[in-house]
Structure 1
């Protein structure tokens, strides 16, 4: 039995506005239907939560809050949320309808794929996640099924906020609740304690990239628990192990994004997108190996502090502690620092009678005193000179050292006038240096000084002051009407980068010319911000159908509906019925909106009056009718006498007959 037909929601009108159509997809939490917004007369997709989830008032309130958060997220790579509602316990979201397929379909059809192709698919996903992370919104369920690819190639990420509403309801932890999300893409921290942040989305995006590169998931098992265990206890293997030839820096990129320790991953999707662009650039330039890029992307493992307990090392920054024996061997501080010479003691003499050189009663040696020297006046003079020299040297040293210097006052975040006044008070000069941008110091305030505040400077020195220009922002230029190359050059001039390009048909703008940009022209953006473009593909080509021999009114209506300019003219035709198309110019090929098509419409055969030929000889009558385009046939009248003159005709004389038709002459 067809489940779509049996689905009770199909055909139902939700909230008096959304007519539910065919089912598009079904997941663990909700079912998605194609629908029509009757109020705005537009197609949309309606995601209906499974029965039971809306019974809890707390969950319903959370669902509404998260839907509102997702609705505020406006980005070209995010599926727009139009509305949310509760129709008698049926919770639903009304979203942008994206005709096309999912990234899962692409993986099945193309994976394993070349790194350049894989990165081109993951970058718009990261762009969407990056916008969400900047807005404080975490996806929590990044997987191929939530990445939609429109028929025109646009990549859109769906289901922002839905996982958060459900996870708050179920308390998804490894020990007490239900794990929300596809286990193959769950970050280890979600499995262990249920906590998630932007880095959890980064992990899932890294797994997604691995799957694009290899065509398989990094961790597989017989049950979801086994897969979750591997996410916690095993690193994601390098893609090159499954597909040889992948550059080492691509392996490093996957390793960085899927590091089990969240601190080793990029802080959010914007950081990972920057790294992806570096890798794409290396691939675009044909770089087979870039050790510097590989080293930069490879996650550096941290070592716990207890891992150093058994390490014994001494370096110049580490004090060395000496043992008692070592200290004794080296000597005491007094003996090494204060002794300038060692005076040997006089040897003891054996006991004997007192006298010169005899031992003293205390057992010491009796020194022989030399004669007292004669006092000299040179000593005090020399001492005075030495003291004067020492004082002079001290004063000179102070003057040439610290005496001539003062301390630079702190003037950071003062305006120029305040900074100048503070420097004047110290007797210092003010010199304006080149201004610089700052994300933290307001425009016009002091950002930096040289020398810095607190450093020493000569009393009459000059301090170079750098004023802040405020945050570095550049205005998005007007790109509409420029070619794609010129738009890229204009963005580069404004220190911005060219983002994604979407191409659409436009009847008025030539191919390759920019239709619009996002962010819009005139907005202020950080340097390096990617600006996405919508570029014209030119007028949409129209395949011309051939209406020759068909009803002219219908042909004119159909051709006008295609946007073509239709002109008509009439002509007689003996073979084409009245009101049908005799000829069409052009009758085939490709035209564009506004091009001309000419239809020649049949008036049917031309009508000619049958002349009065009574009493005219058969030969003369025949010649005259044939000259008018008729075919002549003769027959004997009821009063035939064999004279050979015309008595009557069918059609009768004076009537209008189609040119080329047969006239029967009756003879008398």
Structure 2
């Protein structure tokens, strides 16, 4: 073991963080198990290599990135607790203090179990993508998503937790200038094509790497393997990632399709970021009915164990530590596995742990840098990359297959005297063999492949003809487009320029032109019309202010749409659905002076609900007839409540009491609810000679009528 790592064991960084045991080391940093003595909390301590710690510009950028990573407060992200510089006469030590996860990595789980079942793979990917989504929202790109950075630890109540480590580290290296446009930085087995070709690293690149991780979890192996990093990177740029079902069984087609889309070479065809990928995973879980299962914590293996430190070495270190503690198996949350290291410097230390027996290495797994010019030279030179195999390949090394023979004529056998016929025969055989070899070489090298031609902006029929002329099978898919005319090809899948097998299907996406407002029938259900509008690529909407009365269309059903059917709009524009408010209300009729029953009958016929209100006195309206309505006559009632209150007159018509006896007159008035006041001339009862109010006058109930009588 290098003395640099052991020398820190027992040290106390900034009089607070005790370095207990070395967990892993790469060319840029070493990771230790430690203790925060102030809070009595187990932590992981990442100490920068002295070569980088002396570079002030690098340290500044690294500290800024550490602060950015610490802003990601998410349960599935390894927490960054602290950052500092321990100053000593022997040099400054730049370090990060992070959460310590007790468990293993996804790499350990795959090595232990091989291909994972679908529910377990989804249970791991959901928290991984949730962590990436949080980073992308914070403006950070992980750049090194791989199974070694997916940590699985023991959670509360016997459960488990999944966390993603090493956020911001690679971005700090890139910002410091340790890579350039001519350098490829990352773990080649998980690099996106754009990272290899241009160095462009964004959220779509993290999606690609996560898609490779999902592929490996489902199959037990990465799609591209090989001992040569350049050959693996070359495959990422030039080959399409196969569907997981080509290696493993019991994988739903929907999951196959999602993995293929997440690993498209064209980053525009992938989910845009971690949140979009997570959303598709969650929808897929519901579609295929995958149950939620706990994530198993991998058992510690030799590759997981803390590097042992002898008691003698510990006694000579700068502090004191319990030997058993130094040798204990611990899984550290932010292990870089190994850390980023330049390829060329002789002094760089890159730790590569051999996989457990029975598993073939998937190629260069450590985060590393390599020259992009090496990739350019590797194009024609890369003739063989070990093929993808099942999750449990043989441990024995496989010899590379022989190179195909060159197209040069074989040397004819030496001529013999008297053997003219044999010479001719052998010459014919040689020509035949040469033709067979040449034809076979052409077929397997290039003859069975076709390059997808550029048919974009061509008419559909011309594009179909061109694809067939190239021995390809055109399939048609249509979609709306704001600027490309109907019947014109928008793009192909696979894209133009890609190599496919002769006879393969190529999907042509043909424009349907701009969306048009669909024709709708009166009285249709609103949800039916909404579906029609969405199928056109437009957005249905409702506006109560535009709804209107219609005598023929039932309330709540569709009357029309706005704009008018046939109007061309841009994709996603708004189309308002106009609903019927039912028949237009009729004005309340004039029912004054009509009897109660007549008024009720007329109002009911117009759709109103008449009710009788408290009777009122009117000197102009005969008792029992309508004085007024509430709402008033001539008004219209909006809404569902069509109640009309009818006010009837309670006036009493004073009868003619002349020549009646006083007793008869009193009885008549009492029958009508009126009171009698008798004024007699000469005493005694007699006949009525006068009255007030006069006959046929209208008075309120219980009014007094004065009558004059004479004997």
Range class of TM-score, shorter chain = 0.3 to 0.5
Normalised by the length of structure 1, the TM-score is 0.44
- Pick the structure with greater CA Rg: 1
